[in-house]
Chains A and B, each alone.
Chain A
């Protein structure tokens, strides 16, 4: 079975700082990778996804992520964070062709201080 590890459970940054959230997965086959964001009291929204092709994917709100197959990683980055980026961030994996739901990491709680 697949699993996802997010190494940073709580991250506190100042506005304009650069962000990188780590995500590693374990699965031997083809995977689809996702980053979701959950703002306080809201539902999950898709930030970006990787299915195939260019391993550097760009998402909404200035976020990007890089898929490094050799490292089983899919780290999320943003060059300059804003206070409104305060939220919970989830990395998720879906095995290729899988219909049995996303496997999520435990999430990273990001706090941006003004």
Chain B
């Protein structure tokens, strides 16, 4: 069973469109994340979210919004796509409670290409 899954794997779209990437985890974790990996392979946290708190990286444009219908899902919605949004987006999850922090499990990634 896939622990963290993402759909779609590839997404090609035009500038100005709105798109969503879905993420699901079946690990029972309470915290989920979105990361962006640019063309130079640099990984940067975009959001982390659990039932209580959404933490947003201040550098993320407000065109990006995470949506969590339930504890096992954290979808990424992007409005008005721009060329610079082209990247690989990784979802991850972990169990976080109090001062304990455990390793994050990553999904396979979604390669977004904006033309």
| Chain A residues within 8 Å of B, Cβ to Cβ | 32, 34, 36, 38, 42-46, 49, 51, 88, 90, 94, 96-104, 106-107, 109
Q: Does B1 contact A (CB under 8 A)?
A: no
State which of B18-26, B62-70, B73-81, B97-105 sits at the interface with chain A.
B97-105
Cβ–Cβ contact A101 & B106, under 8 A: no
Are A104 and B55 neighbours in the complex by a CB distance under 8 Å? no
Q: List 11 A-B contacts (CB under 8 A).
A: A36-B106, A44-B90, A44-B106, A96-B99, A97-B99, A97-B100, A99-B48, A99-B96, A101-B33, A101-B48, A107-B42
Cα distance A83–B55 in the bound complex, in angstroms: 40
Q: Is the CB of B55 within 8 A of A100?
A: yes
- Known interface pairs A43-B109, A88-B41, A107-B42. Does A102 touch B104 (Cβ–Cβ under 8 Å)? yes
Chain A to chain B: the 9 pairs with minimum beta-carbon distance, closest first: A101-B45, A97-B99, A44-B106, A104-B43, A100-B55, A43-B108, A101-B48, A99-B96, A43-B106
Asked if residues A98 and B101 are in contact (CB atoms below 8 Å), the reply is yes
Bound complex: CA A43 to CA B35 (Å): 12
Interface hub of A49, A51, A100 (most chain B Cβ within 10 A): A100
